[in-house]
Amino acid sequence: MAVTQNLFLLSAMDVSMFKIDPSQAQQTVTVLLDGKHKALPAGMSVAAALLSCGEIISRVSPSSKKPCSPHCLMGVCYECLMEIDGSKKQACMTEVAEGMVINRNFTQEEDN
């Protein structure tokens, strides 16, 4: 019964950011990542785009001071939290866009 309910919930969610749109597969957008211009694949979440380019560190844990990486990629764990266009957002739930400003604030202590 619980499995059936979970499958229903998953099918009701918008999972479009987890699919690569074939028409955008070769397209890129340029973002400002930690103050440097970086080309990322278009049509996916910020977290997925960064991971696809080998940028696996999303933030520094405020408690352990160790680097964190996106974990769930579906808005549950908050390990992908970063500053996107001036406000803290879940990178896995935000679609990457041209001109986006992304700061991972590696040197600043985060407050949750």
Residues in the site for ligand FES, rule: CB under 6 A?
A: 47, 70-73, 75-80, 90, 92
Is residue 101 a contact partner of residue 78, using CB atoms and an 8 Å limit? no
**Of residues 1 and 9, the one with the C-beta less far from ligand FES:** 9
Is residue 33 a contact partner of residue 25, using CB atoms and an 8 Å limit? no
- Minimum distance from residue 93 beta carbon to ligand FES (Å): 6
Tell me how many degrees the CA angle 40-46-48 measures, rounded to the nearest 5: 85
Helix (H, G, I), strand (E, B) or coil at 103: strand
**Of residues 42 and 80, the one with the C-beta less far from ligand FES:** 80
- Minimum distance from residue 73 beta carbon to ligand FES (Å): 5
